[in-house]
Structures are given as structure tokens and as C-alpha cells.
């Protein structure tokens, strides 16, 4: 069963979601795991690709970023940056959700939390102080 991990960032600045996503991506890749970052739009995909290109080795085949469809099957972790639950989340060992608690993102995050909880998925959450986000 997929484990769901929520990261709650104490901020009203949605851009910090992408900054923290980059930090998580680097940690996951450093562990040798494969990661798919699911964004909510083409614009968000480009922005996340730009951020990753600055910090992560270009062409790292363990990382995939997109907003369109289902990723290839060799990914272990899903980092969901879209506003909804991706229909393919359960094909991953772990799904990560980043919520900015002072923004509209917070309400959408609560809905996703309820969705996962109502279906019996194991849920964890961590508070991330804003100053921890680069």
C-alpha cells in the first residue's frame, strides 16, 4: 500500500512549495531512488525543470517531471505538486504532498488528506518551518 507523507510549510508564499520540492527531490535522488514530480500545469512543469536543472545533474534518469499523464513504472516516489490526487498515485511506494498552510493550497491539501484517509492509506505529516525552505 502506498505511504502518504504530507509536508506542511508555515508560509503563505506558494513559491516556497517548489523550493521545498527541490530539496526533497535532491534528498530522494541522493538515496538512489527514482522520483516522478507531478505538477499541475505546463508552466509549473517548466518552472520545476528549471529549478532542478540548477541543482541536479542534467539528464539524471532517476528524475521525471511532468503534468500530463501517467509516468513510466520504474518510479518509487511521487511528489505531487498539483492541486488534486493523481489517479496513478497508488502505483508508487510513496506519495509526497507539500502544503503551504497560509495559502489556498492549504484547503486543497486538506481535501487530498481526507481522500487518502477515507481510503485507508497510511498518512504521516511533518511541520516544516518556513526558514527551513531554501
pLDDT per position as a tens digit, 113-122: 999 999 999 9
Q: What is the pTM of this model?
A: 0.91
pLDDT at 132 over 70: no
Q: Could you name the CATH architecture of 7-132?
A: 3-Layer(aba) Sandwich (3.40)
pLDDT at 107 over 80: yes
The domain limits of the chain are 7-132
- With b for 16 or more beta-carbon neighbours within 10 A and e for fewer, the 22-57 pattern comes to bbbbeebbeeeebbbbbbeeeebbebbeebbeeebe
Confidence of residue 133 (pLDDT cuts 50, 70, 90): low
**Rg from Cα positions in the chain:** 14
Amino acid at each position: 500500500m502506498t505511504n502518504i507523507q504530507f509536508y506542511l510549510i508555515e508560509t503563505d508564499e506558494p513559491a516556497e512549495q517548489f523550493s521545498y520540492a527541490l530539496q526533497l527531490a535532491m534528498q530522494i535522488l541522493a538515496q538512489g531512488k527514482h522520483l516522478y514530480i507531478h505538477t499541475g500545469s505546463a508552466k509549473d512543469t517548466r518552472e520545476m525543470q528549471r529549478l532542478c536543472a540548477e541543482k541536479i545533474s542534467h539528464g539524471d534518469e532517476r528524475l521525471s517531471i511532468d503534468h500530463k499523464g501517467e509516468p513510466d513504472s520504474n518510479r518509487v516516489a511521487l511528489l505531487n505538486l498539483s492541486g488534486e490526487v493523481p489517479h496513478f498515485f497508488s502505483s508508487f511506494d510513496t506519495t509526497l504532498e507539500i502544503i503551504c498552510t497560509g495559502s489556498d493550497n492549504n484547503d486543497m491539501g486538506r481535501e487530498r488528506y481526507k481522500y487518502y484517509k477515507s481510503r485507508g492509506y497510511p498518512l504521516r505529516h511533518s511541520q516544516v518551518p518556513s526558514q527551513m525552505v531554501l
